[in-house]
A and B are shown apart, each in its own frame.
Chain A
Amino acid sequence: MYDIKNTAKGLVAHGVSTCAGCGLELIIRHILDVLGENTVIVIPPGCAALFSGYGKETALRIPGFQGNLENTAAIAAGIRAGFEVQGRHDITVLAFAGDGATVDIGIQALSGMFERGERVLYVCYDNEAYMNTGIQGSGSTPFMAATTTTPGGKPSRRKNMLEIAAAHGIPYAASASAAYIDDLKKKVEKAKNTDGPSYLHIHTPCPTGWGFDPALSVSLARAAVQTGAWVLYEIEKGKLKLNSKTTKLKPVSDYLKPQGRFKHLSDKDIQDIQQEIDEYIQVLASRSENQAVI
């Protein structure tokens, strides 16, 4: 055990063992700043388990439970029910899982929790692969990205988990990014106050897995949004609202080029990805009820 000389300002310890430039570390601090200490967190094994801690140490000042890789939503639903029957409606139950634990192995439990309308705030921090086990491809790994199980580039598209979540008719689902903290915090606040399931899918760059300079995490996350490779939007009671621009976007190569996982891409590959982005942006823009603000 280390002696703690100075207490952390927020609910997360100042010294944690995430990689330098970890997008996940940035967002968990801000999310817990918004939610406050009257929160219980459920974390599956994975990168976020670094915050569960090791042995007698934890990195969090809120109560938490480390479940299995696929039952984060189920354990959270049980915790919620336990508090509800004791009249403790004020506690926020936060499920905090990565993309593998969400879109792959955990999608059944998550879908069940959504369908039943449990009041759980589910955050998927999406670093687009199984990073903690060594960068294996997941259902959220983007098209053509190289991982240790897609060494030639992933041949299939990623799941659109935000739309899958929204298709359950849950009251609030939104995407967010580690580069747009004000936008993220607003969404966390909204999710906290949602009377029912809420889902936040957050783009969290991973320098280790994506192969880029850790100093560039935030600028790379910003590039994803500015190129339309990642779009910020909310689906509230079925209505889609864009939060990031869909016009005057930068070329996707600005986002792809700095990353080692895309270094094998040909100009044609990049063109194809650009075309997919352009088409998807049009779809989102046509569904949106507003003009984007960011």
Chain B
Amino acid sequence: MKKEIRRMLDGNGAATEALKLARVQVISAYPITPQSPIAEKLSELVVSHKLEARYIRVESEHTALSCAIGAQLTGVRAATATSSVGLALMHEILGVASGCRVPIVMPVVNRALVSPWSLWCDHQDAMAERDSGWLQFYTENVQEVMDFILIAYNIAEHTEILTPAMVCLDGFFLSHSTQPVMTPDQETVDAFLPPYRSKNLFLDPKDPMFINNLTSPDEFSEMRFQQKVAFERALDIIPEVQNHFAGIFGRQYGLLEAHECEDAEVVLVTMGSMAGTAKYTANMMRKAGHKVGVIKISVFRPFPVAQLAGLLKGKKVVGVIDRSAGLGAQGGPLWLEVKAALPDNDTRVFDYVAGLGGRDITEKTIETIFTGLLQKVNKKDANPDAPGVCWIDTHPDAMSVREVIVND
């Protein structure tokens, strides 16, 4: 019988609690805003024996992930967490974890990348790692942070997946936002998440193997192919695990979530904490008679192509909010995925870049987007098929901000 307690936790607190409930045994963490409370709280749990684990106070994120990989290969769950440039510093090692099929689950507190310096939320840090071979989950609220981490362990460690997972939470909007969270008890989590056992690759003098040596062109593609197959299988296994989780904990999640999409004339695709604002705004607009809907992408890697295409079938106008710039591309990374998922040329997909470097994505921003999309449906838009990405919340005088004057 599940016993849950309702607690007030912020996103970092929920992430920490989830790692504790997953009984991680080795933690290697390096502080970075806005992830630092995770690094701090885990060390407190270890020193007070509330969590029986070894805490390695590493000197960089690069070492944090290297340590975690080494530890997990001996047969324990190893944990770390990071953000922004910390994730960028891990870049080289992310591929080692995924290529060696080490199923580490890592909270990533989303924060903009340099330059310019920003401490605040956008998705460019995680988007820059979208092809690193990690599963990527994006959370809307603090409850999802807790639940997605527990679910991610079960998926990442699945024999047919064996792939590490990032659970992304928006910096400050979630990491430092205190919300009520149903916190499961240890016994129920233990039943959902059995003790870790190394599969395939491990380090043990009793059964020696050499891991990660030089691989010839004869085998490299095949080993990548195995990872590709794992991502494909994940599209089936993630819903299975989410259903299993719902059976125990009563909270149902999916690869994505549709809100008021069935009869919607326009649908806006969102990801992360902005989804809550988008759903709220859609409700308000529906009260005013506008048929608008929202899709929240919970799993970005693997991308739920078929599910999304099914939901958007027949829609004439779809909007996407990208919380990263996608410089030089035809659109932001989320737009590219949505566009590619909709081969039907009758669906026009518009990209809106918003919420960079900590800028709030407000109801007003969402309303502006919906209004614009509705105008495109009604062909009232002056230029309904204008190509390109719309930077919806950028100040009109953008080009004069810190303008550089060249002196002759």
Q: Which residues of A contact B (CB under 8 A)?
A: 37-40, 42, 45, 49, 52-55, 58, 60-68, 70-71, 74-86, 88, 91, 108-109, 111-112, 115-116, 118
Contacts and interface: CB of A to CB of B under 8 A. Distances in A.
Interface centre among B53, B60, B67 (most CB of A within 10 A): B67
A58 B213 contact: yes
B285 to A, nearest CB: 51
Contact of B210 (A64, A76, A83, A86): A64
A74 B68 CA distance: 9
Given A74-B62, A86-B75, A112-B63, A58 B53 contact: no
B258 interface: no
Contacts, number: 151
Contacts of A74: 58, 62-63, 66-67, 70
A4 to B, nearest CB: 15
Contacts of B219: 55
Nearest to B212: A66
B75 A60 contact: no
B115 interface: no
16 contacts: A45-B214, A53-B213, A63-B207, A65-B203, A70-B62, A71-B62, A71-B66, A74-B62, A77-B70, A80-B70, A81-B67, A86-B74, A109-B63, A112-B58, A112-B63, A116-B56
Interface centre among B25, B26, B58, B62 (most CB of A within 10 A): B26
The 4 A-B pairs at the shortest CB distance, nearest first, are namely A78-B70, A82-B74, A112-B59, A78-B67
Interface centre among B28, B69, B204, B210 (most CB of A within 10 A): B210
A52 B56 CA distance: 27
Given A85-B26, A108-B63, 4 more contacts: A53-B214, A55-B218, A62-B208, A109-B60
B205 A38 contact: yes
Contact of B76 (A45, A82, A116): A82
Given A81-B67, A82-B72, A116-B57, A54 B78 contact: no
A195 B76 CA distance: 23
Contacts of B59: 108-109, 111-112, 115
A52 B213 contact: yes
Contact of B214 (A52, A68, A112): A52
Interface residues of B toward A: which range?
Answer: 35 or more
B189 interface: no
B211 interface: yes
A76 B74 CA distance: 11
Nearest to A11: B208
B216 A54 contact: yes
B92 interface: yes
Contacts of B74: 79, 82-83, 86, 88
Interface centre among B60, B66, B73, B215 (most CB of A within 10 A): B66
A39 B67 CA distance: 18
B3 to A, nearest CB: 28
B96 interface: yes
A111 to B, nearest CB: 7
Contacts of B127: none
Contact of A85 (B54, B60, B63, B210): B54
A67 to B, nearest CB: 7
Contacts of A58: 210, 213
A138 B57 CA distance: 29
B121 to A, nearest CB: 29
Nearest to B67: A78
B59 to A, nearest CB: 3
Nearest to A67: B66
Contact of A79 (B25, B63, B203): B203
B9 to A, nearest CB: 26
A155 B295 CA distance: 62
Contacts of B275: none
B87 interface: no
B1 interface: no
B406 interface: no
A77 B80 CA distance: 14
B26 A55 contact: no
A79 B204 CA distance: 10
Contacts of A61: 208
Interface string B149-161: 0000000000000
Nearest to B55: A81
B20 to A, nearest CB: 15
B209 interface: yes
B71 interface: yes
B93 interface: yes
A63 B209 contact: yes
A223 to B, nearest CB: 34
A82 B73 contact: yes
Contacts of B66: 67-68, 71, 74-75, 78, 109
Interface in B242-276: none
A78 B69 contact: yes
Given A49-B213, A66-B212, A79 B62 contact: no
A85 B211 contact: no
Contact of B70 (A55, A75, A111, A115): A75
Given A55-B216, A77-B70, A65 B211 contact: yes
A16 to B, nearest CB: 13
Nearest to B209: A63
B146 to A, nearest CB: 24
A86 B73 CA distance: 12
Nearest to A90: B205
A79 B210 contact: no
Contacts of A112: 58-60, 63
A5 B75 CA distance: 34
A71 B72 CA distance: 16
Given A55-B216, A109-B66, A67 B96 contact: yes
